Every structure is written in C-alpha cells, then in structure tokens.
Structure 1
C-alpha cells in the first residue's frame, strides 16, 4: 500500500488522530482492491479506464498530515488550569495576603492584651483551665477548615470559621505569652516579622522548587511532634534548645513551600484552586504562628 503524506492542516499526535488516519487509509485501500476489476483485453478504452481508476485510487490514498511541535500534551492541562490566567492568580494572591494581614492584626491585638493587661496576665497564670478549655475548640475548628473543602469555599461560612479560628489562636498565644516577659515577646514578634518577610521574598524569586519537599517536611514534622512529647518528661536545657532550633527550621521551610504553592507558576506542585484562598491563608498563618512560638522559645532559653 502506498500513502502520500502532504502538510495541510494540523493533527495532534498526542490525541491519537494519526491512528485514525492509518486505519482510514487501510480500509480505503482494502475497499479499492476488492472493487477493482481486472481485464486481459489490450483495447485502448480499457487502458484509459485503468489509468483513470489508478489516478482515482492515488487521490483516495492521499492523506494530509501536519507534524507541529507547538502542540504538546501539557497545553490542554494549561488551558484547564484556571491559574493560567495571570489576572486570576494575581487576584488570588492579593486576597490571601489581605486575609493573612487581618489575621495577624487580630492575633497581635489579642496577645497584646495578655502582655500589657497585668490583671488578665495574673488571672491566666492562676487559672490553668483557661488554656485547656480553648484547646478542644481550637482543634475542632482547625479540623473542619482542613477537611471540609466545600465548607471552606462557601461564603460567608469560610470567613466566619476562619475568624473564629483566629480568635482562638490569639487566645492560645496570649495564654502562652504570659509565661514570658513583654520584652521577650516583642523581640520574638520582631524576629518573626523579619524572618517571614525575608523568606517570602526568597520564595518569590528563587529558582529552587520547595514544593517537592512536601513529603520530607511531613516526616520532619512528625519527628518534631514525637520529640516534643518526649521533652514533656525530660528536663534538659540543650535538648529544649535543639527542639526550638529544629522547629524554627522546619516551619521556615514550610513557609517557603506554602508561599510557592500560593504563587504557583513554574513550581512542580501548585494545584491550589482559586476558591481555596482561605485554605492558603490558613496554611501561611499557621506557619508564621509556629515560627513565632519556636523563636519565642529560643529567646526565652537564651535569656
């Protein structure tokens, strides 16, 4: 069988169009062979008929195929990705940073009350049940925000839950901060702000892809949790100092990874949905809060 290929209109080989052409060519050739009549007479009219039939078969066996390197399998996924539009990505980032800023302002205001209001500080030190009463509600709201995807995309339920979670987090931070001096808390706040700003700028301009470290960071976080549980029964200055340093490193890496997940672009894992702005803000907020706690512990141990 003879096939003449001419370049006329584009065909995407990744979608299997070329297989359809090959089958079509084979079927057409079979039909022509089965319908062809052979004669042995040397007459001139029959020779003309054979030439006409041969030209018709040549035209029937001629198919148009264009090989283009501009069409790749990733093009369809890029078109399906809503973040392929720069304006959608920009609006998403602005919304996340606005929500995050509001969370940090509310948290800072609550912690300031516990630091500078001496009566409240003394009351929390005497009534330890206050901290233990907040913990269950804190984890319930956190689990709801983390696991209920439809709920955290629904307005205004997502904002209400996030606001409630932020208030609970501020109360917990306030209950922790009463065990430190106001000066130590302020130094930890300034250090956390400086580290957060530096790591955010680093995550935005670096060519390194930290989103691929998700599995390794999860293992380090699990080790950190086990390490912290053991320290409840071990009183060692150096082990606590090592724990605070390790926690600072782990959540610094988490902060860089979550910023790159939010920004997306060239990073390997950037599969956030445009409606997941609450989830993105929650991740970065928790990274900053945990970073603050470990830096505060480092400062307290250093003094």
Structure 2
C-alpha cells in the first residue's frame, strides 16, 4: 500500500519540479535551494588552443628532460677527462714516476694488457674501470714524450673536440648513416697499424709512423662526430636518453684515442 504522498507526481508537476535522486523537489521556506552545478562548471572543456598549449608544455618538458640527460653525459665526460689529465700529469711532471716507467718497460706493456682486458668487456657499470685503465695507459705512453709534446697534444685535442661539438649542432649532414663506412675505416686503420709496425721494425720509411698517426686521428675524429650526433638525437639514429653513461664512455674513448694519435704526431715533430 502506498499513500497519496508517495505516489508519483503528475506529468505537468514533474516537468516544473524535477527530482533530485529518488526524491521530488520539495518547496522550501525562505531561500530556495541553489540549482545543481552544470557539467561545464565542474569539468570545463578544453579548447583547441588549450590542447595546443598543453602539448607545447609536454614538448618543453621532454625537451628539458632530454637535455638534462645531455648535461649528465658531459658532466660524466668532464669527470673522466679530469681523471685522465691528472694521471697524465703525474706521469709527465713527476720525474721519479716518468723515469721509473722508462727504466722498467714492463709497466708500459702492462698498461696495454690492462686496457684490452677491460675494453673487451664494455658495459655501463664498469665505466670507472675503463676510465682508470685508459688513464693508466695514457700516462705510461706520455712518459716517453717531452712535456711540450704532451701539452701540444692536449691543446689540439681540446680544439678538435670543441670544433666537432659546434659542427654537430650546426650541420645538417647525417653522419649516423655512415656506420658501415666507419667500420671499414676502423678495420683499415688496424691493418695499416700492423703493416706500419712491421715496416718500422726494419727501419724503413721513418715518416710512415707519423702518417699512420695522422690517419688515426682523422678516423677517430669522425667517430667523435658520429657518437656526438647519436647523443644529440636529431638524426636517423640515436641512443636512448637513459643511456647517458654509455654515451659519455663512447665520447671519452674517442677523445682519448684522438689525444694519443696527436701525441704521436706532436712527439715526432718535436724530436
């Protein structure tokens, strides 16, 4: 049984007095109830301009995030180069250390063994070991050169690195598509190095060593361009922003090899 008050209102009353939930709108004494909030008042609709601005904000966030990783790469690279410069300075300026390496060549050859053992296991987690091994090898090699030649090689290497970085940001040429060419160049450099070592053992063509060092410096400069464009990420190929340790290690190895090849040229020029 239902009473008269519980029965549904007539159609005309329902149109003028809509229900709230399951309860009809009852007349109130005093101030009337406020009307229910509209849909637009609670959930404002985004216009195309708002969507464009939000997309722009998202792109700016990704831009800042990617460049933050870019800065991390160069911070790690700066730390690696600082360690290498410190070790090279010890082997160059400390006469007892330099004479000790010259007196015992086994320390010189041990640095190559340590470098190749560490280099054959490239991974982002062991970049500290690779930095120390490569710094040790650079230090022992620098012990056999004059201080003037070492300083000259450092200055030329710094100039080359700055020029390559500026070039990679300005050029429209995509060097990331030249990976096959760089691989062939690296194999050719290895073959030329073996031939040069054999020829120089018989004291033939003494200027061939300087030519080999110049070719090696040019090839590793191209590798530096390639790895820098991979890091920038605006070319055909790019590395992930999360691989900033790998990016820093790649640039570091290229820079150190450029320094070693230029050191051979400057050392031969100053003799």
TM class, shorter-chain normalised?
Answer: 0.7 to 0.9
Deviation at 1:145, TM superposition (A): 2.2
Matched, 1:170 2:135: yes
Matched, 1:92 2:92: no
Deviation at 1:186, TM superposition (A): 0.4
The runs of at least 4 consecutive aligned structure 1 residues that moved more than 3 Å come to: none
Query: Who wins on radius of gyration, i.e. which is larger?
Result: 2
Q: Is the 8 A contact 1:204 1:259 kept in 2?
A: no
Deviation at 1:298, TM superposition (A): 1.2
Alignment of 1:117-266 (within 5 A): 117-146=94-123, 152=124, 158=125, 161-235=126-200, 236-265=205-234
Once residues 102 and 227 of structure 1 are traced to their aligned partners in structure 2, the CA distance between those partners, rounded to angstroms, is 33
Q: Which residue of 1 aligns with 2:92?
A: 115
Once residues 106 and 211 of structure 2 are traced to their aligned partners in structure 1, the CA distance between those partners, rounded to angstroms, is 29
Once residues 95 and 257 of structure 1 are traced to their aligned partners in structure 2, the CA distance between those partners, rounded to angstroms, is 19
Q: Is the 8 A contact 1:252 1:291 kept in 2?
A: yes
Q: Which residue of 2 aligns with 1:294?
A: 261
Question: Under a length normalisation based on structure 1, what TM-score does the superposition of the two structures give?
Answer: 0.65
Q: Describe the superposition over 1:49-84 as per-residue Cα deviations: whole angstroms up to 9, x where unpaired.
A: xxxxxxxxxxxxxxxxxxxxxxxxxxxxxxxxx9x9
Q: Is the 8 A contact 1:145 1:279 kept in 2?
A: no
Once residues 137 and 182 of structure 1 are traced to their aligned partners in structure 2, the CA distance between those partners, rounded to angstroms, is 25
Deviation at 1:162, TM superposition (A): 1.6
Deviation at 1:230, TM superposition (A): 1.4
Q: Which secondary structure state, in structure 2, belongs to the residue aligned with residue 144 of structure 1?
A: coil
Task: Calculate the aligned-residue CA RMSD, in Å.
Answer: 1.6
Once residues 133 and 217 of structure 2 are traced to their aligned partners in structure 1, the CA distance between those partners, rounded to angstroms, is 22
Structure 2 residue runs of 5 or longer lacking an equivalent are: 1-58
Q: Is the 8 A contact 2:111 2:140 kept in 1?
A: no
Once residues 274 and 268 of structure 1 are traced to their aligned partners in structure 2, the CA distance between those partners, rounded to angstroms, is 15
Once residues 199 and 237 of structure 1 are traced to their aligned partners in structure 2, the CA distance between those partners, rounded to angstroms, is 31
Question: Under a length normalisation based on structure 2, what TM-score does the superposition of the two structures give?
Answer: 0.73
Structure 1 residue runs of 5 or longer lacking an equivalent are: 1-81, 147-151, 153-157
- State how many pairs are aligned: 207
Once residues 155 and 108 of structure 2 are traced to their aligned partners in structure 1, the CA distance between those partners, rounded to angstroms, is 25
Once residues 217 and 238 of structure 1 are traced to their aligned partners in structure 2, the CA distance between those partners, rounded to angstroms, is 25
Once residues 133 and 247 of structure 1 are traced to their aligned partners in structure 2, the CA distance between those partners, rounded to angstroms, is 23
Alignment of 1:14-33 (within 5 A): none
Matched, 1:269 2:246: no
Q: Is the 8 A contact 1:184 1:300 kept in 2?
A: yes
Q: Is the 8 A contact 1:89 1:263 kept in 2?
A: no
